[in-house]
């Protein structure tokens, strides 16, 4: 049976070169990097090397990289840590955060938490039908208390690319006191994340979307950005994240970052071609529509609405044909509610019911895409035959 | 939360039983699930046996919904087919879940949907009878 994984936006396999690089750090160089004996030094050397690899990718100083366990933790640290630090400077004001309605839950839930504590006021910017915010809206939302603008680089459900460079420029030139956080989880393998060029103060990403293992992430904190650590204990990670470092995972993240940067240009254009074919063939099928922006989208995400079909059953039947995809259907969510991203884009719940996301990666081939197109046609026909005639039905 | 389906659920999803429409049915019922937007329709053909009992001689379903919604409607048709209306009405959501070897907790509501669709189809049959 075929085995075609098209869910790279959910997670990626670990690159064999990454595994190889990590290997000795499990049993040979197992020392605690806080110790200064031979074993400890070998481990801290591995961390130092990884920090340098990542700093090169982001064009920052190695000391500006903090290792965490995942993007969610990086995001929590960036938002909560900054707000706590800002509040310490002046308890009278309630700091204001501007973010978007289509952020990952890690950002949205962290913001809600801060609101609940009354530590911050939050504006959630709307998006247009393509999932893009407007710079105009952002400018209008800024108040004298705004301390943080937090915008994702590439949306994980529909692949739309936010105008990160423009936002960075606006903040730097007109509001230099406001800090800018970008969630680059889906962007790093395909877009230049030069924090200097983009004027980013805080940037989060994770290993398991870039061919490193799960359980490791990083946060770039521009020097001078006030942050109070959220995990207390020892003085690891420059006093920003207590806990013994996971040396093998850190080494893996460093290596994976170096690899994706090396392959970025080639891989982006290769996936763009595959994605184009996939989008044009699937949207030829009646009742299948692209979601997200037609051009301003990351090369690895192709997302659709399939009319008169439910996403979970589509996913299960495709899985039976050996293909892994994902859906934003309410039926497939643990809370039975439709995707907040599709909602924010103005897509009705009965349409997001039939949402389908295919995300491509380094092992995706032309043949995979051809087989997938054929299989989707088959599955959609089967499920539509199963569905009652819905014309004239109102719910 | 465990969301994995049993083999039985996947079997019904892959090759559903009694899927489709009955032309000129003796009863039909449709229910919609506002929680997640699924729709289920049941069609019945009823005959009387020698004892004068009303038997479901044929039953078909159409469903727009998740894997569990499709599997519960499919398995329900197999449970109800050939039964008297009285017996068929006794089929509970637990019977449906049992026949599928279990359902993830969050999917139990889909089995209620199937159950309601059948009851509505029977009601529809009874009410059309009265009109004659
Ligand atoms: S009917 Fe939507 S979850 Fe099953």
What is residue A392's predicted lDDT score, i.e. its pLDDT? Answer: 55
Residues of chain B predicted below pLDDT 70: 1, 33-35, 131-132
What is residue A127's predicted lDDT score, i.e. its pLDDT? Answer: 98
Active-site annotation of A, residues: 331
Residues in contact with ligand 1 by the CB-under-6-Å rule are A 331; B 33, 36, 38, 65-66, 68-69, 107, 110
Q: CA nearest A320 in B: which residue?
A: B14
Interface membership of A1 toward B (CB under 8 Å): no
Alpha carbon distance B102, B71 (integer Å): 11
Interface membership of A51 toward B (CB under 8 Å): no
What is residue A329's predicted lDDT score, i.e. its pLDDT? Answer: 87
HSE (side-chain half, CA atoms, 13 Å) at B103: 26
Alpha carbon distance B16, A158 (integer Å): 32
Q: Which residues of A touch B1 (CB under 8 A)?
A: 334
pTM here? Answer: 0.94
**Maximum pairwise Cα distance, chain B:** 51
Interface membership of A353 toward B (CB under 8 Å): yes
Which of A247, A249, A245 has its CA nearest to residue A231? A245
The CA distances from residue A276 to A192, A280, A369, in Å, are 21, 6, 10
Q: Where are the domains of chain B?
A: 7-131
Which member of B39, B66, B70 has the closest CB to residue A332?
Answer: B66
Which member of B1, B37, B64 has the closest CB to residue A387?
Answer: B64
Residue A139's CB is within 10 A of a number of other CB atoms, namely 13
Tokens representing B92?
A: 């509970």
What is residue A335's predicted lDDT score, i.e. its pLDDT? Answer: 74
| CB-CB under 8 Å, B70 with A336 | no
Instruction: Chunk chain A into consecutive blocks of 10 residues (it has 395) and report each block's average pLDDT, rounded to whole numbers.
Output: 95 98 98 96 98 98 98 98 96 96 98 98 98 98 98 98 98 98 98 98 98 98 98 96 97 98 98 98 97 97 95 95 93 83 93 94 98 97 90 54
Q: Which residues of A touch B65 (CB under 8 A)?
A: 310, 313, 331
> Which domains, ranges and CATH numbers included, belong to chain A?
4-10+265-386 (3.90.1150.10), 16-260 (3.40.640.10)
Which of B131, B4, B6, B20 has its CA nearest to residue B71? B6
What is residue A395's predicted lDDT score, i.e. its pLDDT? Answer: 45
Q: CA nearest B106 in A: which residue?
A: A334
Which member of B13, B14, B37 has the closest CB to residue A353?
Answer: B37
Dump strand ranges (E) for chain A.
4-5, 65-68, 96-100, 121-125, 146-152, 179-183, 202-206, 217-221, 288-290, 301-306, 323-324, 355-359
Alpha carbon distance A79, A293 (integer Å): 28
**From the candidates B6, B37, B72, which should be mutated to test the interface with A, based on the most A CB atoms within 10 A?**
B37
What is residue B128's predicted lDDT score, i.e. its pLDDT? Answer: 85
CATH class of the domain at B7-131: alpha beta
Interface membership of B1 toward A (CB under 8 Å): yes
């Amino acid at each position: 049976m075929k085995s075609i994984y098209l869910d790279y936006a959910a997670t990626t396999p670990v690159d064999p070169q990454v595994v190889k690089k990590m290997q000795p750090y499990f049993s040979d160089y197992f020392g605690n990097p806080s110790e200064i004996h031979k074993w400890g030094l070998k481990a801290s050397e591995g961390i130092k090397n990884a920090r340098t690899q990542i700093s090169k990718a982001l064009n920052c100083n190695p000391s500006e990289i903090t290792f965490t366990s995942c993007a969610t933790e990086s995001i929590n640290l960036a938002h909560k840590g900054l707000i706590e630090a800002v509040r310490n400077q002046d308890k009278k004001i309630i700091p204001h955060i501007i973010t978007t309605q289509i952020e990952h839950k890690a950002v949205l839930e962290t913001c809600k938490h801060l609101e609940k504590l009354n530590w911050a006021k939050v504006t959630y910017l709307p998006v247009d039908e393509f999932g893009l915010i407007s710079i105009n809206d952002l400018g209008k939302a800024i108040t004298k208390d705004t301390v943080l603008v937090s915008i994702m680089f590439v949306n994980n459900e529909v692949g739309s690319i936010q105008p990160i460079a423009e936002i960075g420029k606006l903040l730097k030139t007109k509001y230099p006191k406001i800090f800018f956080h970008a969630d680059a989880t889906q962007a790093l393998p395909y877009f230049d994340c030069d924090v200097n060029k983009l004027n980013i103060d805080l940037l989060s990403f994770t290993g398991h979307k870039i061919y490193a293992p799960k359980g490791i992430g990083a946060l770039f904190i521009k020097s001078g950005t006030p942050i109070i650590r959220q995990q207390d204990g020892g003085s690891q990670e420059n006093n920003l994240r207590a806990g013994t470092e996971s040396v093998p995972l850190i080494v893996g993240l460093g290596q994976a970052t170096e690899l994706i940067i090396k392959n970025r240009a080639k891989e982006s254009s290769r996936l763009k071609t595959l994605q184009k074919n996939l989008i044009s063939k699937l949207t030829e099928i009646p009742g299948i529509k692209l979601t997200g922006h037609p051009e301003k989208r990351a090369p690895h995400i192709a997302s659709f609405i399939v009319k008169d079909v439910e996403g979970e059953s589509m996913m299960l039947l495709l899985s039976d044909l050996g293909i892994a995809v994902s859906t934003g259907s309410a039926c497939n969510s643990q809370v039975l509610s439709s995707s907040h991203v599709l909602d924010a884009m103005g897509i009705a719940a009965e349409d997001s019911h039939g949402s389908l996301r295919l995300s491509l990666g380094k092992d995706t081939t032309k043949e995979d895409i051809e087989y997938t197109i054929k299989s989707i046609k088959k599955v959609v026909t089967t499920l539509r035959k199963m569905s009652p005639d819905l014309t004239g039905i109102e719910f | 939360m465990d969301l994995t389906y049993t083999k039985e659920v996947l079997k019904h999803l892959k090759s559903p039983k009694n899927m489709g429409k009955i032309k000129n049915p003796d009863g039909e019922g449709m229910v919609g699930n506002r929680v997640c937007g699924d729709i289920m329709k049941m069609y019945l053909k009823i005959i009387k046996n020698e004892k004068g009992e009303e038997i479901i001689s044929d039953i078909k379903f159409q469903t727009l919904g998740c894997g569990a919604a499709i599997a519960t409607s499919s398995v329900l048709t197999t449970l109800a087919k050939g039964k008297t209306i009285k017996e068929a009405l006794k089929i509970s959501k637990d019977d449906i879940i049992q026949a599928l070897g279990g359902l993830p907790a969050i999917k139990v509501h889909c089995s209620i949907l199937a159950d309601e669709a059948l009851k509505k189809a029977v009601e529809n049959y009874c009410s059309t009878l009265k009109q004659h």
